[in-house]
Structure 1
Amino acid sequence: MRLLQVVESAATGVGRHVMDLSGGLLERGDEVVLAYADWRMDRMFAEGLARLEPKGLKAIKLPFSREIGPEDLRSIRALRDLIRTHGPFDAVHGHSSKGGAVARVAARTVPRRLYTPHAYITMAPTIGVRKFRLYRALERYLARLGTGTVCVSHHEKAHAVGTLGIPAPTVHVVHNGVAGPARGDRESIRAELGVQEGDVAFGFVGRLWTQKNPLLAVDAFARLRAVHPEARLLMVGTGDLEDAIRARGVPGVELLGERNGPQTMHAFDAFVLPSDYEGFPYVTLEAMATGVPVISTETGAIGEAVRDGVDGFLVPPGDATALSGAMARLMADPALRARMGASARERAGSFTIDGMVEKIRTLYAG
């Protein structure tokens, strides 16, 4: 098949999804053209381009703006020109809100026009009423221009159908997938980080900003640390809340900055995700694939991967007492950590890149 991927948000989970998908399609003999914006491109996406272009990926930079405005007309014209020049295509797949909008408007001549929201903006709990109504109207209109929506979770599909009014028969669910655990030696990584024998290391990987609510993890850990001085909280990532975390002054909390998150997970005894809201995050699957039990707030589609009491624990968002209690249970019971970690690793095998690619490819084929 000849396939066109369109993405403006070429970073974080969206960018990773596009690269994993494009790589899998190339491996299956498909021709893939990628239209992308480089102004928000992160290191992982750039490395993906460098890896896949020699394998046949044709990557073309397009002018995109993040906000809705007249610049969108320029993006639509540029994509139409690309389709005329490099087409015909069997399917076009737009990713995230801007890529999805431009793709569906510009690619009216392409037989199959798919869109993956990667979490609708209307799912954000902080969105105002007027903005919600505007985006709901836009999503309904754009859905009529496409032939299908590919959600990354059943939670997202329920929002698309029940809240936005997208016709259910056109909405499909394909979960994100991971290749497996990153390479890493537990003992050497723990030694590098100064984790002593007998320490129990809880870990966080992600952006240190409001949506991820890392301060909740710090506050919950503070209660645990008061009872268990051998507890550690290793936080991988950077962001606006770094100073606030330091200001808490909680012993045992260590900000590690930017480093390889999946590799660092080998040092963790448990992974903590304290987010206020989430979609279906890769970071949870990465921790599970590494064999690390997950303690997460029960938000978004987390429960579609993590089974409460089996692969880890799910607690109410914003509840430091419940989060600390779950951490204490794993702190006190090495056998429970091992059992949940083994279960998590097995569960992660249900969410693979190959499975994701095959399901999406079936939708391309119609």
Structure 2
Amino acid sequence: MLPSPAIHMSLEKMRIKIARIITRMDLGGAQQAVLCLARHLNQNLFEQILITGEGGQLSAELSSIPFVKRYIVPSLSRHVGLGSLLDDLKTIIRIRTILRLEIPQIVHTHTPKAGILGRWAAWLARTPRIIHTFHGFGFSQFHPFWAKRLYVWIERLTGLITTRFIVVSERNRLKGQQYRIFAGAACDLIRSGVDFSTFRNVSGDKSQKKIELDLAPSDRIVGIVAGFKPPKGLHHFVTVAKRISEQRTDIKFLMVGDGELRVQLEEQVHQLQLDSVVKMVGWRRDVPELLEIFDVFLLTSLWEGLPRVLVEAMIVGVPIVATDVDGIAEVIRNGKNGYLVPPGDTAGMAQKLIELLENETLRRQMGATAKSLVQEFSAEKMVEDYTRLYLGLMGDVADLSSFPSQEVPGGKP
């Protein structure tokens, strides 16, 4: 029996209004986590507003969710520099205007740029609870000293107006503490969850999928799914392909994704005469099927939060060779479900890849272990953890457990 109209009215008044802020809805880990929360956070408990930049591969999916109100702020972009200061000021003013209109009880920001601009807009709008999720930091040891110092200073300052922090990995928590970014506010660990159902029972002919990609059915595939951005270290991926192509001719390298570095990477591939070895296929909607044809997943990141794509590869049972940076070591157990190598160590990456590619039994063992380790990273657990966090921030709230729950994907892979 459905609740009466009077109860519905009461429920509307009791629902917690959350405004979530992020830059473009690109096909990245932070954006996929936001999309998952938008779809599956319980409507009986929460009213959701999303403030985003313009465009992105996931933009249409986000706009198709009927119970989430979306505001697009074109000036909210990832670009950082003196030339963007005027746009940044306009963005803060626009977001503040939206927040004053909507009056959310909680503002939750994601990604570095949106995290800084969004939190200051929320502070100016006098939003009582401001939280931010670090899906990785916007700085690393590979940035110039002055740029890193400036970013840390801005994060420390913004931390003073932040109610609660969330990180996706323990290493990110330690890094934030090391740089004194959290400013005394509590910091919780909430993993970025993956919808296991998307990767269950993937059907399809692997040989046919290879032929579709202009690969031979007998080819061994080393692959990556990533945005073509500096943190991913994809020039090392191409260098590893060169090293291995000098030893084996039956191994191909598949790059699924796109981004600002595509032209540079294409030039590198051409200069190293790898046009027949490295294949770039752009962003694809058939990632589960593509992961099925990977023999090994190679992640060459220079810095990270906790990459969801590793969990996706593990669900499918693909062994992994990855760089030992940030939260990656919390996904990969060295020698169990993959191998960890230092960032930039292309010789070490090539060695571990050859070891796996020449040992089918080892690949199967690592793939089976990978499948057994993913439960911590389910979408269901992420939604539950955020629900608990939001309710905790609000203090005592009405018991709405008698109202219909909302199905959340997840479960055992």
- TM-score by length of structure 2 reads 0.80
Q: Compared with structure 1, are the counterparts of its residues 191 and 309 closer, same or farther at alpha carbon in structure 2 (3 Å cutoff)? A: same
Contact 1:290 1:345 in 2 (8 A): yes
Match of 2:326 in 1: 300
> How many Å separate the matches in 2 of 1:229 and 1:332?
13
Distance, in Å, in 2 between the alignment partners of 1:137 and 1:228 is 48
Q: Deviations over 1:218-265 (max 9, x none)?
A: 333344344433322222234131121122124751313214234311
Measure the CA separation in 1 of the matches of 2:371 and 2:276: 27
Q: 1:186 deviation in Å?
A: 4.8
**Aligned-partner residue type, residue 213 of structure 1:** G
Counterparts of 2:99 and 2:142, CA distance in 1: 37
Asked if the contact 1:186–1:267 (Cα under 8 Å) also holds between the matched residues in 2, the reply is no
Matched, 1:57 2:76: no
CA–CA distance in structure 2, aligned partners of residues 47 and 165 of structure 1? 34
Match for 1:25 among 18, 34, 41?
A: 41
Match of 2:303 in 1: 277
Aligned to 1:333: 359
Q: Which residue of 2 aligns with 1:177?
A: 193
Structure 1 position 184, deviation (Å): 4.7
Aligned letter for 2:76?
F
Matches within 5 A, 1:340-355: 340-355=366-381
Change (3 A) 1:138 1:250: closer
Give the unaligned 5+ runs of structure 2.
1-15, 394-413
- Which residues of 2 match residues 147-226 of structure 1 at below 5 A? 147-167=163-183, 170-180=186-196, 181-182=198-199, 183-187=202-206, 188-208=208-228, 210-226=230-246
- Structure 1 residue 82, shift from structure 2 partner: 1.7
Aligned residues with identical type, % of pairs: 26
| 2:97 alignment counterpart | 81
Question: Of the candidates 134, 152, 155, which is equivalent to residue 117 of structure 1?
Answer: 134
Deviations 1:298-352 (A, max 9, x none): 1221111111111111111111221111111111111111111121122223201
Relative to structure 2, which stretch is displaced further, 17-26 or 327-336?
17-26
Q: Does the 8 Å CA contact 1:265/1:287 hold for their aligned counterparts?
A: yes
The 2-side partners of 1:125 and 1:3 are apart by 34
Report if aligned partners of 2:241, 2:278 keep a CA contact under 8 Å in 1. no
Alignment correspondent of 1:263: 289
Name the aligned partner's letter for residue 146 of structure 1.
T
Give the Cα separation in 1 of the matches to 2:194 and 2:150.
34
Q: 2:265 aligns to what?
A: 241
Distance 2:144 2:306 in 1: 23
CA shift in 2, pair 1:321/1:76, >3 Å = closer
Deviations 1:17-73 (A, max 9, x none): 2212221215565210111121xx3122x1322331x2x000012343544624434
- What are the within-5 Å matches in structure 2 for residues 32-51 of structure 1? 32-38=48-54, 41-44=55-58, 46-51=59-64
- Within 2, Cα distance between the matches of 1:249 and 1:346? 39
Q: Provide Cα deviations, 1:63-109, integer angstroms capped at 9, x if missing partner.
A: 4354462443433332232223222x221101122322233223243
Distance in 2 (alpha carbons) for counterparts of 1:279 and 1:157: 10
User: Normalising by the residue count of structure 1, what TM-score does the alignment of the two structures yield?
Assistant: 0.89
1:232 counterpart SS class: strand
What amino acid is the match of 1:279?
Answer: G
Q: How many residues align?
A: 359
> What stretches of structure 1 move > 6 A for 4+ residues in a row?
none
The DSSP-based 3-state class of the residue aligned with 2:160 is helix
